Structure formats: C-alpha cells, structure tokens
Amino acid sequence: MADKKLTEHLANLSKLSFTDEELSRVTDEMTDIIALMDMVQEIDRNQNTFTLPAVDYDSLRTDNADKSFDTQEIIRNAKTKTNNAFTVPKVV
C-alpha cells in the first residue's frame, strides 16, 4: 500500500514533482497498482531469477573506434547551448 510519504519518495527518485492534489491522486493510483504487483510475492523464491531469452552475450563484437556524429548536429536539439557545449545552470 502506498502513502503520501512513499509517493513523495518515489517522485523524488523519479525526478518528478506533484502538487498536493496530484499527490493524493497518484497515491491512490499507486496503491491500486502495487496491490496488483503484490501477486509476484506468491512465487517460489528458489526459482532462478535471471534468464534472458535468445541473446548470446558471450559473442559480442570487437569494440572499434569509428567516426561519430558531428558535434553541431548533436547539439542542434538542445534548447540552450554555447559554442559546442550544452549549457546548464551553475552547479558549484
């Protein structure tokens, strides 16, 4: 069961913010969703966890340096940029 404290904690982890009204709604929704997810508690814990289907991770290709994208192209989608860099507010 979710409460406002848990919802706030999850919102913080998720880098999301909610108004008080939204927080109440989301808490109710998360309560219902977690109740559905609780079904997985019934499984036998002796069962192996990870089995990834159909992928052979033992035969990865050699890592080769290759030409990448043009810097100007890469930053074209950024809302704020200076020369060849993304810009963010001063952190330190």
Partner 1 sequence: MAIKELHKQLSAKEKGAVELTKRYLDRIEKYDKGINSYITVSAEKAIKDAELAQNRIFSGDSGLLTGIPLSIKDNICTLGTRTTCASKMLEDFVPVYNATVVEKLKNSGAVMLGKTNMDEFAMGGSSQTSYFGGVKNPYDLTRVAGGSSGGAAASVAAALCVAALGSDTGGSVRQPAAFCGVTGLKPTYGAVSRYGLIAFASSLDQIGVCGMTAEDCAIILAVICGEDKNDATSSDKAKGNYTELIGMSLKGKKIGIPKEFFGEGVSDEVKTAVMNGAEVYKDAGCELIEVSMPSLKYAVSAYYLISSAEAASNLSRFDGIKYGHRANGETYDDIIKKTRSEGFGDEVKRRIMLGNYALSSGYYDAYYNNANRIRTKIIEEYASIFEKCDVILTPTAPTGAYKIGQQEKDPVRMYLSDICTVTVNIAGLPAISTPCGYDKDGMPIGMSIVGKAFDEANIIAFCDVYEKTFCRKMPKERNSVQ
Binding mask 58-77 toward partner 1 (x if CB under 8 A, else -) reads --xx-------xx--xxxxx
21, 41, 58, 83: residue in contact with partner 1 (rule CB under 8 A): 41
Separation of alpha carbons 75 and 88, rounded Å: 13
Residues in contact with partner 1, counted by CB under 8 A, come to a total of 55
Rule CB under 8 A: say whether 40 interacts with partner 1.
yes
Q: Which of residues 9-28 bind partner 1 (CB under 8 A)?
A: 9-11, 13-18, 26
Q: Which residues contact 6 (CB under 8 A, 6 or more apart)?
A: 27, 30
Q: Which residues pair with 81 in a beta bridge?
A: 86
Rule CB under 8 A: say whether 3 interacts with partner 1.
no
Residue numbers of the site for partner 1 (CB under 8 A)? 6-7, 9-11, 13-18, 26, 29-30, 32-45, 47-57, 60-61, 69-70, 73-80, 86, 88-89, 91
